[in-house]
Amino acid sequence: MTVNEVYEKVMTIKSINPLVKNVEYAVRGKLAIRAEELKQELEEGKEYPFSRVVNCNIGNPQQLNQQPIKFYRQVSSLCDNPDLLKKENYHLVSQLYPTDAIERAKKLMKSIGSVGSYSHSQGVPAIRQTVAQFIKERDGHPSDPNHIFLTQGASSGVQTLLSLLTENSNSGIMIPIPQYPLYSASLALYGATPVPYYLNEATGWSLDVDQLTDVITQARKEGTDVRALVIINPGNPTGQCLTAKNMEEIVSFCYQQRIVLLADEVYQTNIYQPEERPFVSFKKALMDHPIPEVRENLELVSFHSISKGMIGECGRRGGYFECVNLDSQVLEQIYKMASVSLCPNVHGQILVDLMCNPPKPGDPSYESYKQEIESIYESLRRRSKKLEQVFNRMEGVTCQPAQGSMYLFPQITLPPKAVEKAKELDMAADAYYSLAMLEATGVCVIPGSGFGQKEGTWHFRSTFLPEEHLFDEFCGALEKFHKEFIEKHT
């Protein structure tokens, strides 16, 4: 055979799918990669001004030692090892597991068969029924299990819908700025047109429906076929919660403009001002809408996940989406796409069942379950408040409180010298700041430029997930860094 003198690779950065090249994803981008390197170097004994890397770039609570909810893990482990459910092991197992965990595992195994089998592509039917019941109890309106799709985390569900909505490169999807970069990344991948609308920082990242109207009008004038509106509520990275009144306006807007509403509601239990800003689902907002034509027609898809809330089971990749008023032929297409991936992983599905049907008062596990959930919740609330105050004390930093979610998104005024220095290095100024923070403190945040922000403003997103007993130290390190950074660049 002939040997080529110079073998040019088939797959090069020039020859691959150009849409893939366009994708940007800051949550696990350059800073996160540098953080991994630092971790490695620390392990190898290299000296840094900090003893460990703290990943505040991603809402990954158990990575920062948040303890899993025991009942969930008990049921899941029993499903994994069905030998534990055998009669002959009961005398031992009953000393390790509460009876309601055992009963729940038996019930689940009856409908699942084996966690090692592919399930129904849409998710185990009995689990979809649990989800429908949960939605009904939450909203006071019925839900159809046949219109619920279990997924590998909310992300994969969002991607399914965005892909489906993309008829061609002219198909437009309205996304908030700042946004969770899954949306911009996926639109880049499918080649659709992002149609950005801005959240108003000064009023706590509120959403102004008049602005939505201006944006859609302008986009349509420019020829974009606007098809859907993405709302992240509670907000990511911005943490705001919408009021029921605002939501009714949004629903009306979508109906009048004839666009699909995609509601990312994965932070629905991360609510820190429950009196003033309780969580209201868009399903409820739609079903409570005064006009029957709106209730009967507006296409809504809402997404939920086991990764957030007080559960934080990110690594299992579980979630669901509920479709309301979708065309039956479109539902068939969604089912077909789900079937190509065979099924969402069954362990993730089990957690969806448990999230939607936790222990109830009177159950043997209820008291400890309640105590675990409340303790995580109260701690998150305290930490969100403390970090917000720390940010607001820093020179040139302002930070809106987190009404919900797991993040704060402070605005930073950077000295001209820092902006210049960043330019020299061909970096966004907030990326320069965030990298300096990482190198000085080991704390990894994400620059605002990864989420989008108003031209000329700079931000970063940080979780407030570091452990509470280390939280003061964490805050102190950030304050010290900021002071020194400002001094160095003034």
Q: Please give the residues from 42 up to 71 whose contact with its own copies meets the rule CB under 8 A.
A: 58, 60, 62-63, 68, 70
Q: Does 28 bind its own copies (CB under 8 A)?
A: yes
Q: In this chain, which of 217, 341, 389, 490 binds its own copies, going by CB under 8 A?
A: 341
Q: In this chain, which of 90, 118, 374, 378 binds its own copies, going by CB under 8 A?
A: 118
Residue type, 452: G
Q: In this chain, which of 49, 82, 140, 476 binds its own copies, going by CB under 8 A?
A: 82
Q: Which residues pair with 171 in a beta bridge?
A: 225
- In terms of CB distance, is 113 or 142 closer to its own copies? 113
Q: Fill in the DSSP letter of residue 414.
A: P
Q: Does 89 bind its own copies (CB under 8 A)?
A: yes
Q: Does 256 bind its own copies (CB under 8 A)?
A: yes
Task: State the nearest-atom distance from the C-beta of 242 to its own copies, in Å.
Answer: 19
Measured CA to CA, the distance from residue 378 to residue 16 in angstroms comes to 48
Q: Does 347 bind its own copies (CB under 8 A)?
A: yes
Strands of the sheet containing 446-447, edge to edge, are: 407-408, 460-463, 446-447
312 and 322 Cβ atoms separated by less than 8 Å: no
Measured CA to CA, the distance from residue 84 to residue 241 in angstroms comes to 43
Q: In this chain, which of 172, 178, 312, 442 binds its own copies, going by CB under 8 A?
A: 312
Residue type, 43: E
Q: In this chain, which of 44, 293, 426, 455 binds its own copies, going by CB under 8 A?
A: 293
Task: State the nearest-atom distance from the C-beta of 156 to its own copies, in Å.
Answer: 7
Task: State the nearest-atom distance from the C-beta of 15 to its own copies, in Å.
Answer: 6
The residue among 45, 104, 49 whose CA lies nearest residue 73 is: 104
The residue among 80, 69, 70 whose CA lies nearest residue 105 is: 80
Q: Does 1 bind its own copies (CB under 8 A)?
A: yes
Measured CA to CA, the distance from residue 9 to residue 128 in angstroms comes to 47
Question: Where does 166-243 have alpha helices with state H?
Answer: 182-190, 209-221
Query: Which one of the spans 196-204, 235-243, 275-283, 290-298 is the region binding its own copies (CB under 8 A)?
Result: 290-298
- In terms of CB distance, is 122 or 400 closer to its own copies? 122
Tokens of 207: 């959403």
Task: State the nearest-atom distance from the C-beta of 440 to its own copies, in Å.
Answer: 24
> 403 to each of 28, 84, 243, 353, how far by Cα in Å?
25, 43, 11, 27
Residues 4 to 23: which contact its own copies by CB under 8 A? 4, 7-13, 15-18, 20-21, 23
Residues 321 to 340: which contact its own copies by CB under 8 A? 325-327, 329-330, 333, 336-337, 339-340
- For residue 226, the surrounding DSSP H or E stretch is strand 225-232
Query: Which one of the spans 114-122, 375-383, 387-395, 415-423 is the region binding its own copies (CB under 8 A)?
Result: 114-122
Residue type, 396: G
Q: In this chain, which of 113, 140, 274, 476 binds its own copies, going by CB under 8 A?
A: 113
Q: In this chain, which of 43, 44, 46, 116 binds its own copies, going by CB under 8 A?
A: 116
Q: Does 436 bind its own copies (CB under 8 A)?
A: no
Measured CA to CA, the distance from residue 93 to residue 75 in angstroms comes to 12
Residues 189 to 248: which contact its own copies by CB under 8 A? 189-190, 227-228
Q: Does 146 bind its own copies (CB under 8 A)?
A: no
403 and 204 Cβ atoms separated by less than 8 Å: yes
Task: State the nearest-atom distance from the C-beta of 277 to its own copies, in Å.
Answer: 25
326 and 280 Cβ atoms separated by less than 8 Å: no
Measured CA to CA, the distance from residue 62 to residue 375 in angstroms comes to 15
Task: State the nearest-atom distance from the C-beta of 19 to its own copies, in Å.
Answer: 8
